[in-house]
Amino acid sequence: MTDFRPGRFEILPTIVKNLIIINALVFGAQFVLPKAGINVENLFALHTWQSELFKPWQFVTYMFLHSTDDFSHIFFNMFALWMFGSVLENVWGPKRFLTFYIVCGLGAALCHMIVLYFEFQPYINEFNSFSFEQQDLYRESLQQALSGGTIGASGAVFGCLAAFGYLFPNDNLYVMGLVPVKAKWLVLMYAGVELFAAIQNSAGDTIAHVAHLGGALAGFLMVYFWNKRSTNRWR
């Protein structure tokens, strides 16, 4: 693949800009469409494939939805997309960056779906062992448990963070705008926090930590193999 060399650094390159616009438009639609009787999350959030709500397109569409109850969800995802994605798109060009972003989102979704499968399958097996009468009693509860959807660009954004840390390991990033931390250590710190939270699996924790780790892993693997194949060294 031919390496991209921009004539100048773009503060808001094409793909990053359009991804932010699409996310903003979808966010607005999440407020409007329910008033027309359309359940956006049932249709487009990522559901476990054991659920009746699962559809194949959700592997892509989930990453453009965000929580309507917490504006910080979309704000920080889009800020991180701009912060890290802009650098990556300037280095790689629009086509490679878009491929990278989507694959990271898919990797995040796949890892999350694997975890959901093993989380729910024991309950499904138990349900299937019930008599028909018992199944009628518990069917609604099971479907309700399976109906929860996953939304957010965080998995793809974590892929961008991992790629930035790999390509620019010694660049300083400022935590809380004050404390300088090298990119490689910040990535490892975030990965450690997400891994710890995923293992803890605390009650009431609605964050898809494994999806974050899956996106970061997909991003790291892609940039590692791209870099191995390239005749140029990024840094």
CA distance 215 to 108: 4
The predicted model gives 126-139 an average pLDDT of 82
The residue among 81, 119, 85 whose CA lies nearest residue 223 is 85
11-61, pLDDT tens digit by residue? Answer: 899 999 999 999 999 999 999 999 999 999 999 999 999 899 999 999 999
Backbone angles phi and psi of 82, in degrees to 5: -65, -45
**Residue 9 is assigned to a structural domain of this protein:** no
Residue 4 pLDDT > 50, yes or no? Answer: no
Q: What is the mean pLDDT of the chain?
A: 88
> What is the reported pTM?
0.87
Domain, as residue range, for 151: 20-229
**Residue 214 is assigned to a structural domain of this protein:** yes
- Check if the beta carbon of residue 171 is closer than 8 Å to that of residue 96: no
The CA-to-CA distance between both ends of the chain, in Å, stands at 18
Determine the pLDDT at residue 1: 40
Q: Domain containing 100 — which CATH number?
A: 1.20.1540.10
Determine the pLDDT at residue 142: 81
**Residue 118 is assigned to a structural domain of this protein:** yes
3-state secondary structure of 174: strand
The predicted model gives 52-73 an average pLDDT of 95
| DSSP letter assigned to residue 131 | -
Determine the pLDDT at residue 218: 97
Determine the pLDDT at residue 177: 63
Determine the pLDDT at residue 176: 61
The predicted model gives 85-114 an average pLDDT of 96
**Residue 14 is assigned to a structural domain of this protein:** no
**Residue 5 is assigned to a structural domain of this protein:** no
**Residue 104 is assigned to a structural domain of this protein:** yes
Tokens coding 1 = 């693949």
Determine the pLDDT at residue 39: 94
**Residue 12 is assigned to a structural domain of this protein:** no
Determine the pLDDT at residue 162: 96
- Compute CA distances 180 → 86, 183, 185, whole Å: 20, 9, 11
The total of structural domains in the chain comes to 1
**Residue 213 is assigned to a structural domain of this protein:** yes
SS (H, E, C) 96-108: HHHHHHHHHHHHH
Residue 188 pLDDT > 70, yes or no? Answer: yes
